[in-house]
A = this chain, B = another copy of it.
Amino acid sequence: MDDPRNPTAPRAFEQPIVTVDIVLLTLMEDELCAALLQRARPPHLGEWTLPGGFVHTDTDEDALAAATRILETKAGVESPYLEQLQTFSGRHRDSRGWSVSIAYYALVSHQTLQRPGESATDASPLKWRAVDSIRSLPFDHRDILRAAVDRVRSKTLYSSLPVHLMPLTFTLSQLQSVYEALLRTELDKRGFRRRIEELDVVEPAPQQPTTRGAHRPAQLYRVKRKAANGVAIADRNLTR
C-alpha cells in the first residue's frame, strides 16, 4: 500500500475515479429484466446506463452503503437482495480518466416494486429491459450486465438465490416458473420440490391459501428469515 516513488507522500500521484454500478434485476412475464437510467449529464448524456454513481467519501461508510444509497435515491428501491459482483477498472472504460467501478447486483420482486403511489417510473426516468435484448450500453456496462446475468443464472443451478425475485408469499409452482425462466429450460416438479426442500430456505406462510380457479389451491410459502441472505453451495463431490 505504498507509493515506491514517493515514500513520504503516499498519495502523490493521481488517484482513480471510484464509482459504484448496480445491475438491478427483476422478472417480468418470465423475462429477466434489468433497470436502466437515463444519464442526466455527460459523458453519454441522455443515454441509458446501469444505475450508478460516485462513492461519497463524506457520507458513505463503504461501497455497500454507497450501493444502497444509489438504489434508494436513483432507482427508488429499498432493501433488495444486494451482493457484490466484481470490480471493473482501467484507463479506458470511462472518458473522464482511470476509473474503478465496484459492481453490485440486486434482485427485487416486480410485484413489490409496484406499491401504490411509489412506482419507480414516477420519480425517475427508469425503464426495464429484457437482459437478452440489450445489445450495447455505454462505458463497459454491457460487460457488467453480462457478468451479473451469468452469475445469477449460474447460482440458480445450485442455490436458492431466485427466491429473492419472489414477492413476500408465493407458491412452489410460481417459484418453479421463475427457475425455469432463468434457466430457460423445463424442470421436473418432483425433483424441483425435493431440491427446494433440501435447501431449507422457504417455509409455509401462515396465510390461508387462496384459490384461483377450479382446482386445488396451492400452499403459500415465504423465505425463511435466517436463510434470507444465505446461499447454499453443494458440498458434495470430491469429499466423502
Q: Does the CB pair A195–B238 fall under 8 Å?
A: yes
Contacts A63-B100, A179-B238, A239-B157; A17 near B13 (Cβ below 8 A)? no
Residues of A in contact with B, size category: 35 or more
Which residues of A180-216 have CB atoms within 8 Å of chain B's CB atoms? 183, 185-188, 191-192, 195
Give the docked Cα–Cα distance between A39 and B4 (Å).
11
| Interface residue SS majority, chain A | loop
Q: What are 27 A-B pairs with beta-carbon distances under 8 A?
A: A1-B21, A1-B39, A1-B52, A1-B53, A1-B54, A1-B94, A1-B139, A2-B53, A4-B53, A10-B96, A11-B96, A13-B57, A15-B55, A16-B55, A18-B18, A61-B91, A63-B89, A84-B86, A87-B102, A89-B102, A100-B100, A157-B234, A157-B236, A157-B238, A158-B238, A187-B240, A192-B238
Q: Which residues of A contact B (CB under 8 A)?
A: 1-4, 7, 10-11, 13-19, 21, 39-41, 49, 52-58, 60-63, 73, 84, 86-87, 89-91, 94, 96-98, 100-102, 139, 154, 156-158, 179, 183, 185-188, 191-192, 195, 233-240
